[in-house]
Amino acid sequence: MNRRSFLRRSAAALPLFTWAPLLADEDRQGGRERAADLVIVGGGLGGCAAALAACGAGLRVILTEPTDWIGGQLTSQAVPPDEHPWIESFGCTRAYRQFREAVRAYYRNHYPLTPEARANPRLNPGNGWVSRLCHEPRVALAVLEQMLAPHVSGGRLRLLLEHEPVSALMGADRVRAVTLRNRRTDGRVTLTAPYFVDATELGDLLPMTGTEHVLGAEGRADTGEPHAAAVADPRNQQAITSCFAVDYLPEEDHTIERPSEYAFWRDYVPDLKPGWTGRLLSWDSTHPHTLKPRSLMFDPTMKAAGVNLWSYRRIADAANFVPGTFSSGISLVNWPQNDYWVAPLIENTPDEIARNVQRAKELSLSLLYWMQTEAPRPDGGVGWKGLRLRHDIVGTTDGLAKHPYIREARRIRAEFTVAEQHIGTDARMQATGKSRADVTAEPFADSVGVGAYRIDLHPSSSGENYLDLSSLPFQIPLGALLPQRVENLLPAAKNIGTTHITNGAYRLHPVEWNIGEAVGYLVAYCLRSKEPPRQVRRDAKRLAEYQQSLRNAGCELEWPRVRPL
């Protein structure tokens, strides 16, 4: 079959789903109440995984999302998955592995791949080197919609897109209801359920419900962590990033209009501790591990040798597809140069939050304009005018992702908090007296899943440079998912019981998915057994039953013997 006939045959199947917000006309009038077994506020990876698990267990679920795309980090934030080196074999849930394989299947079913790419069982559509599965945000969106579609059609799942929480009703340490605003119509809908899940990007339900929580960096006296700040600082929050995608057409000029803040960002020299190397808009930066100066390189022609940012997060490699499918590869820009740390995002006024999100966008557009006009090229020239901003890839008019990439949220004060001493390689070696070859992360008897990633903190709004530490493949303890007081609110994103430091390892894609899945099955178990989550953790028999249900669903609760990261 030639390329033209292939595309003609496939066109009817793309997109597979186009979901509008599922909200009846009477809801648009405001004040409408809807009930379910579980309300999940936030449609990122944790929220989607929680919905899949809960619906699969037979619950009626309402899932809300502030943008018009579910999928969070993978879709509206446009970030290819950051994963550990064993992801193709073990170290994630069965459902997450099904998602990954469905992404590959989507490309095989709907894209004209080369015979070599089609036959590759570990197809990496973009051949980016940040991940073994770099792909377009819209493909992740289509796959997640496919996975949820049977539950929508079967009436178990109601999806409210473009809805954001505005208030919560509490009583006797329980969430009674959450009210959301329709961002398109300004209408209100109130949701009630026995259980609520906060899967928002910033932990929005925590202050609304009065759930005790932590923000920013704890002090060393609070956590005992070797690398904790000397004094707690709530405004010490990791950078956000406004991501975007570009391709490269060398014979064309796609230079954007000069951004209004370009002069500021072009001349901006980061004032970080320890110091940064030169201007932010340059190919020089700080190595995250060593904090020593590091020179990077950018070359969309792929002719120059060196660490090339073009292929770092490339989400489409033209070489994987029949000639003519793509005019160029497509690269996703989420680099040190467009990390925005000038001001914290959380606990500001709505106007300040909006201003900082807009400034993060200005930084990203300034980076693009600099690359198009002034950036030094390996061949001695300056600028790449053929870099084209791909609005269609991220689904926006400004060409920037629908939502900033968020690395840090409010975190619950949990029954158990994971600290550096539990997963940091050096801290564990010191605590246990074991060698690097023998040391493991702290084992948790109440494990509900596993994850692995270096402790990776980006520069922060308090002027702290990278903190990047070796860590050990870890477990996710149930105690970190339970607030100390509130009974029926559970976290399912970056808002679990970690510290500012350990959040840097627990915040990545497969871990967030595992957290959400564990929470979805926990609610199902609690409703079935008529026991609250806190009692499930306390009762050895209940805990064992719940953990067995997770294993039956394909959740791995322990690691085989693997090396530190």
How many CB atoms lie under 10 A from the CB of residue 539?
14
The residues, any chain, with a CB within 8 Å of residue 52's CB and separated by 6 or more, are: 95, 147, 148, 151, 517, 520
Using DSSP bridges, classify how beta strands 330-333 and 244-248 pair: parallel, antiparallel or unpaired.
Answer: antiparallel
pLDDT at 561: 82
Rounded to a whole number of angstroms, the distance between the first and last alpha carbons of the chain is 45
pLDDT tens per residue, range 44-88: 999 999 999 999 999 999 999 999 999 999 999 999 999 999 999
Output the DSSP codes for 238-279: BPEE--EEEEE-TTS--PPPPPTTHHHHHH-----BSPP-S-
**CB half-sphere exposure, 53, CA atoms < 13 A:** 34
Phi and psi of 173, rounded to 5°?
60, 25
Pairing between strand 240-241 and 32-35? unpaired
Overall average pLDDT of the 548-561 stretch = 96
Contact 40, 47 (CB under 8 A): yes
Q: From CA 505, how far away is CA 273, in angstroms rounded?
A: 21
Which residues on adjacent β-strands are paired with residue 246?
Answer: 331, 389
pLDDT of 316 higher than 70: yes
Residue boundaries of the structural domains of the chain: 3-209, 213-229+407-505+534-552, 240-394
High-pLDDT (> 70) share of the chain, %: 95
Distance separating alpha carbons of residues 49 and 71, to the nearest angstrom: 10
Find all residues with CB under 8 Å of 300, minimum gap 6, and list them.
248, 310, 328, 329, 331, 384, 386, 387
pLDDT tens by residue, 203-226: 999 999 999 999 999 999 999 999
Take residue 471 and report the two structure tokens written for it: 């860590």
Residue 158 has a CB neighbour count (10 Å cut-off) of 19
CA distance 285 to 465: 11
Q: Please determine, for residue 4, whether its predicted confidence score (pLDDT) is greater than 80.
A: no
Residue type for position 453: Y
Count of CB atoms situated within 10 Å of the CB of 153? 9
Written out in words, the top-level CATH class of the domain with range 3-209 is alpha beta
Taking only the tens place, the pLDDT of each residue in 367-411 is: 999 999 999 999 999 999 999 999 999 999 999 999 999 999 999
User: 22 falls in which pLDDT band (50, 70, 90)?
Assistant: very low
**Digit-coded pLDDT (tens) for 242-290:** 999 999 999 999 999 999 999 999 999 999 988 888 999 999 989 999 9
Across the chain, mean pLDDT equals 93
Residue range 492-507: mean pLDDT, rounded: 98
Q: Tens of pLDDT along 351-361?
A: 999 999 999 99
| Mean pLDDT in residue range 322-335 | 96
pTM across the whole model: 0.94
Residue-wise pLDDT for 109-118, tens only, equals: 999 999 999 9
Phi, psi of 521 (to 5 degrees): -70, -30
Residues 6+ apart with CB under 8 A from 230: 219, 220
pLDDT value at 26 more than 70:
no
Q: Which of 135-139, 287-291, 325-329, 491-495 has the lowest mean pLDDT?
A: 287-291
pLDDT at 31: 53
